[in-house]
Amino acid sequence: MTTPKKNAFPSDFIFGASTSALQIEGSSRADGAGETSWEHASRRPGFLLGPGSIADGSGHYTRVKEDVRLMKEMGLQAYRFSVNWARVFPDGTGKVNEKGLDFYSALVDELLANGIEPFLTVFHWETPQALEDRWGGWRSKDTSRALADYAGVVSSRLSDRVTHFFTVNEIPCFTSFCYNSPIGFAPCVKCTEKEAHQAVFNAFLGHGLSLQAIRAAARRPVQVGIAECAFGYIAPLTSLPEDVAAARRAFRDNNTEAFTLLFEGAYPEEFVRKIGAANMPDYTEEEMKIITGKMDFLGLNIYTAQYAMADPSSENGYRLLEWPESFALLDMPGNYIVPESVYYGPRFCQELWDVPPMYISETGFTCIDNRGLDNPRIDDVGRISALRQYLLQVHRAVDEGILLKGFFYWSLLDNFEWRFAMSKRLGLIHVDFNTMARTPKLSAAYYRDVIRSHAVL
């Protein structure tokens, strides 16, 4: 197929798909694996808002070869997956579970044999429950140090074949959404406001320590970064310079515990005033230096954004706009369809901070993918429409010189979608959760053609 000149990507731009261990593997206690905080919390009555379980997942643990074959048929150039910490260290620390590491070693071999580059996420919310019981999980810096020890083991065993390592995935989602939060992600515990902010800091410290540990243990040169969703992406309501400037300022203000901490190594004065000095986390300047350690790349997980506009009458010079009920939304609460999010997110990161090359490490769309005897195909037109709009904005960013090097769709497979369990489907590949049978959707065919042409179609 001849690559169209219109909407074509550079030859070194890569297309992939992402997953996480807890969401797809199933067999959660197989081969000596320990319990995670998500497994522990999911047994509470009412915690899960849909059917299904982590124990079943999408059955990937026993279907690796089939799933990699489907990746190859789709033409994926890269696959981003995570290692389950509790498979490697069932108690979070201590003796390595060799069978757990063997699974990921075999997965890496299978990917490489099929011409697919592995992008490994060391931690995607798979906190061993033992660490929550022992130390209070991310409320303790002991967990930060344990993460680094675990990251070093993963690097020492797999860096002979894996080049790209993400330290952690979406720090707010395993700290701010979990400790003293109405969102109620696992471990879903009550604590003080200070402890909640301490957990965020400790997670970033764990990232920085893991950055060092992965490099120190690597058996050859590797590239290491983070996959971050921030506390919210912001897009300007219009392209007027005043709205763009307002959105950029709002983006920084809304991410003082994420990108500002990561790239500036400090808490802005306005943030300290907002939460109160008594609720600030405990830290040292040396720990701040560890957090801001230089990365080789930055992964951005972007699903949506909030609109902002200039407002000279407001204290900060901008106004964040509320969503009208009629705004475009597929089947996930809050994930409004805002294609500009994948343009302005990377652009603002590049303009505000000295960021390394970036990847869109996640974006995806939840649809009601009904499939029955009278409808054997899954023509997920809504997902394709949204994906195409987002890819056009990614292309816009690349065309304007923003340092985006790749795009990973979330998710390869329908999976355990956290508190929604199996009630929300984001996959390019449909999974029958009764039989675990896989069926590529029409979106998989569309993405295959995008990859083949290396352009937005």
Strands 223-228 and 164-169: parallel
Closest CA to 79 of 359, 445, 450: 359
* Structure token digits, residue 257: 């515990």
98 labelled catalytic: no
pLDDT of 1 reads 46
**Residues 405 and 15 sit within 8 Å (Cβ to Cβ):** no
pLDDT of 35 reads 98
286 labelled catalytic: no
Q: Which segments of 178-291 does DSSP mark as H helices, in order?
A: 193-217, 241-253, 259-264, 269-275, 285-291
- Amino acid (one-letter) located at 274: K
Closest CA to 332 of 369, 293, 277, 376: 369
pLDDT of 376 reads 76
Q: Which segments of 13-122 does DSSP mark as H helices, in order?
A: 21-24, 37-42, 64-74, 85-88, 98-113
Low-confidence ranges of the chain (pLDDT < 70): 1-4, 372-375
pTM of this structure:
0.97
**Residues 161 and 221 sit within 8 Å (Cβ to Cβ):** no
**Residues 265 and 207 sit within 8 Å (Cβ to Cβ):** no
- Partners of 406 in beta bridges: 14, 359
pLDDT of 372 reads 65
Q: Give the active site residue among 170, 195, 257, 340.
A: 170
**How distant, in Å, are the alpha carbons of 304, 355, 409 from that of 341?**
6, 18, 15
* Structure token digits, residue 255: 């991410």
Q: Structural domains in the chain?
A: 14-232+293-304+332-453 (3.20.20.80)
pLDDT of 348 reads 98
pLDDT of 90 reads 98
- Amino acid (one-letter) located at 50: G
- Give the HSE-up count for residue 386: Cα atoms under 13 Å, Cβ half-sphere: 24
pLDDT of 2 reads 52
